[in-house]
Amino acid sequence: MTVAAPVLPPLQIGPHTIDSPVVLAPMAGITNRAFRRLCREYGDEGLAAAGGADASGSSCLYVSEMITSRALVERTPVSMKLIEHDPGESPRSVQLYGVDPVTVGAAVRMLVEEDRADHVDLNFGCPVPKVTRKGGGSALPWKTELFRGIVRSAVREAGANGIPVTVKMRVGIDVDHETFLDAGRIAEDEGVAAVALHARTAAQAYSGEADWSRIAELKQAVTSVPVLGNGDIWSAEDAVRMVEETGCDGVVVGRGCLGRPWLFTDLAAAFAGSRVRVEPTLEEVCRVLRRHAELLVDFHGDEGKGCRDIRKHIAWYTKGFRVGGQLRHQLALVDTLSDLDRLIEGLDLDQGWPREGADGQRGRAGSPRVVALPDRWLESRELDEGQRAAVAQAELDVSGG
């Protein structure tokens, strides 16, 4: 049997070898321990199917949802819940949001000293108004010295124990205020292990198309650490095409895996050079949906909370299948696992994968918008005193998730 050549070599993030150069993007309310476990199992399956079962690294890198640094330092119950990992989860990856170098440094120090993470990712890509209007997320790299200070603080605290820090960012605030090339070079200079670019501006949010040419530009500008591409990866073929078109060292996948954790089987297989792809029947999809619900019940320690959490995933899991409006509505209101079982029994489970109906974009695209920013934010790339006060308040105003 001839083994196909891998599309890319394994991804190296500090001391961690990621056999498939694929990263699960942090998504609020999605990439908790339960969902990461599903994705990880499918990634391992894809690697094994492609002949990589004996590989020594992780199949892919699976990152937690965003956690605010201040909430973590204050040990809020929500933040402590979000940094939980399965016993077999390795490397344990945590994404932090922060606007203050001291607070971010303290959060990283806590993760390191208490042995709660093996990798830290910094969020400079969030386009949500409640974050950007205080100067956080995708607004922050505009202030170059603040950005440098946060990255430097995180790298210093993590580096003492050999834990790598990575940065995820966007092209910029809007087409007139791009930040990604400066931010990429600063992050590289400060010792990060990799940089990831979502090839949209904050003004685009998730609308329109990602401009993959910007990933290629960043790859040309940042030469000593891996550059990862993000945006509009809906299939394994999209991921491979991004690598071919941009020269990036790996991909970050977000909305494409919503209700479809088996995408990581496809991705791991594709990067290993295999044509193995998963096209489940509705019965198989419902089996995964039911297991996801069980894992959420376990994660929350409460059946009601777990079932309420699974509700938002149900439309993604059933996308393209003939389910019917009434049943779809009832599925979106489940309160117990037995309710879920009863409703699943009422579906036509013999349906094959609907392909065009289920493939392609997932999640809300939204529309372009004017980015909410602190007063006079764009007048200078340095902070004035009023802006310092705004960013100092930012972590207080973003809840603990």
Q: Which runs of consecutive H residues, i.e. helices, occur in 95-165?
A: 101-113, 129-132, 144-159
Which strand (E) or helix (H) includes residue 80? helix 77-82
Q: Which residues of 206-233 are buried (b: 16+ CB within 10 A; e: fewer)?
A: beeebbbebbbbbbeebeebbbbbbbbb
Beta bridge partners of 94: 120
Containing 253, the helix (H) or strand (E) segment is strand 250-253
Tokens of 332: 């979106």
* Residues 6+ away with beta carbon under 8 Å from 281: 349, 350, 351, 352, 353
Cα(83)–Cα(22) distance, integer angstroms: 21
- What separation, in Å, do the N-terminal and C-terminal C-alpha atoms of the chain show? 48
> Two tokens at 117?
């993470």
As given in the structure block, the two tokens for residue 240 are 């491979």
Residues 39, 126, 257, 286: which is the catalytic one?
126
Rounded Cα–Cα distance for residues 91 and 30 (Å)? 19
126 as an active site residue: the answer is: yes
DSSP letter assigned to residue 225: S
Q: Tell me how crowded residue 382 is: count the other CB atoms within 10 A of its CB.
A: 11
Number of Cβ within 10 Å of residue 326's Cβ equals: 9
C-alpha to C-alpha distance for 194 and 11, rounded to whole angstroms:
10
DSSP string, 290-303: HHHHHHHHHHHT-H
* Catalytic annotation, residues: 126
